[in-house]
Amino acid sequence: MESISDDMWSHGITDGHAEYRISPDGFAKLQNSGLRFDVLIDNIQAQVDADNARLRTHAFALEVPGRPFYADYKTQEQIWYRLEALAAAHPDTVQTWTIGQSVQGRDMRAISISRDSAAGSPCKPVMFINGLQHAREWINAMATTYYIEQIMTNPSNDPRIDALLDRMDFVFVPISNPDGFEYTWTNERFWRKNRRDNGNGTFGVDLNRNWDYQWGLTLPHGSAGNANPNSGVYWGSAPFSEPETVAISNLLLQYPNVRAALDVHSYGQLLLHPWGFTPDPSSEDGDFTAIGEQMQIGIKSIHGKHYNYGRSYTAIYPTSGASIDWYYAVGGAWSFTFELRGPSFAPPPDQILPCAEETFEAVLRFAEMTADNFRFVADWNRDCKHTVFDQIEFVADYGAGNMECDLNGDGVLNIFDYIVFTSLFEERR
């Protein structure tokens, strides 16, 4: 089967069964192969053509009056037009800027939401969300835009969002593969990679195999990543060979406090956490399980959908050089990959809003659990690091009778406050 198609759409082989997209040529080969098969979608191109015809009617309008934004898929121009307009209406908290250029020279844009809050530390933990490494997963960009919009505008005056902004900052790259995304609108709806010219007649590197952590490992699965430039999961000529992954990783390294990082993908209704490169549990497997469980419950409470959670290696398949492993190992952030709703990489547009709504509940829970855990109380000198200087400063303030040191809030400064500080420091909070 792997000689007929390298585009498996199921996440593996279950009970001897897997799903593939195949070309007309591939179908002829399949018929002669002796393999048993069923046709699930006879002509996915017909579905794509219908989507295109519908979308073209509004193609060049940046905004269609009277038509809700989330009613249908949007181009990157339309998405950024909306995000820039929202950002302009919130100049105190929102910034947009260019973090680099793609292989073909398109701007990579980031957006941050940060409330300058007396209630929060100047170095609040940061949540990062990466919206679209894989070009064909259109629903990801819509969902990520929805998350940004909810956090930025809080349209229902949700006290949870208000409280969260006192405790946390947010950074997003909603369209992290702009060239590939463009290509899916103009040429090939199911293109996955970026648009690197590999020089041998093939194009594209899988950005989610290009990150510089455990890159280029040969692992036992067709989707794990490989060195063949023609493959859909080609890992590139070197770790971070692609300007897109370089720009995003540099952005993250500018924030010392990224504590939660989310990669949005589709499809499969899954909540995946490290590791991708090994089946072994990470050292915080218990925390990941607790967050996964809370996210699963939260998602179900919105529209009743079931999402599974688990270690990436086993709950989906082994991967090397995938971003969430880097976010966790190098970036120091708890990380998840969401696989949103299908079916297929082209869910009917009426799936966009419910999918965004239910997974936003998971985003909130992930953010809240992260904020609870990384409070930075013990960053006493407010330099956003945990060092011995925090202890020295605390002892100095304590010795000077500074009532900020009354950490147990009983109105007197004594050894119990020092014990509270020490335990917070040890927990790195």
For ligand 0X9, give the closer residue by CB, 14 or 156.
14
Strands 126-130 and 169-173: parallel
Residue 269 interacts with, from Zn ion, ligand 0X9, none (CB under 5-8 Å by kind): none
Of 106, 89, 67, 102, give the one whose Cα is nearest residue 349. 67
Q: Does 248 bind ligand 0X9 (CB under 6 A)?
A: no
Among residues 106, 109, 134, 365, the one that binds Zn ion under rule CB under 5 A: 134
Among residues 182, 325, 358, 361, the one that binds ligand 0X9 under rule CB under 6 A: 325
Q: Give the DSSP letter string of 72-116.
A: S---HHHHHHHHHHHHHT-TTTEEEEEEEE-TT-PEEEEEEE---
Q: Does 324 bind ligand 0X9 (CB under 6 A)?
A: yes
| Two structure tokens written together for 51 | 């989507």
Q: Does 265 bind Zn ion (CB under 5 A)?
A: yes
Q: Does 106 bind Zn ion (CB under 5 A)?
A: no
Q: Which residues are catalytic?
A: 339
Asked if 10 contacts 339 with a C-beta cutoff of 8 angstroms, the reply is no
Among residues 265, 341, 365, 386, the one that binds ligand 0X9 under rule CB under 6 A: 265
Q: Does 276 bind ligand 0X9 (CB under 6 A)?
A: yes
CA distance 79 to 89: 16
For Zn ion, give the closer residue by CB, 249 or 323.
323
Q: Give the DSSP letter string of 196-230.
A: -B-SSS-B---GGG-SSSSTT---SSTTS-BS-TT
Q: Does 319 bind ligand 0X9 (CB under 6 A)?
A: yes
Helix, strand, coil share (%) of the chain residues, nearest 5: 40, 15, 50
CA distance 282 to 311: 9
Minimum Å gap between C-beta 291 and ligand 0X9 is 15
Residue 130 interacts with, from Zn ion, ligand 0X9, none (CB under 5-8 Å by kind): none
Residue 272 interacts with, from Zn ion, ligand 0X9, none (CB under 5-8 Å by kind): ligand 0X9
Asked if 394 contacts 407 with a C-beta cutoff of 8 angstroms, the reply is no
Which residues sit at the interface with ligand 0X9, rule CB under 6 A? 134, 137, 208, 223, 265-266, 272, 276, 312, 316, 319, 322, 324-325, 337, 339
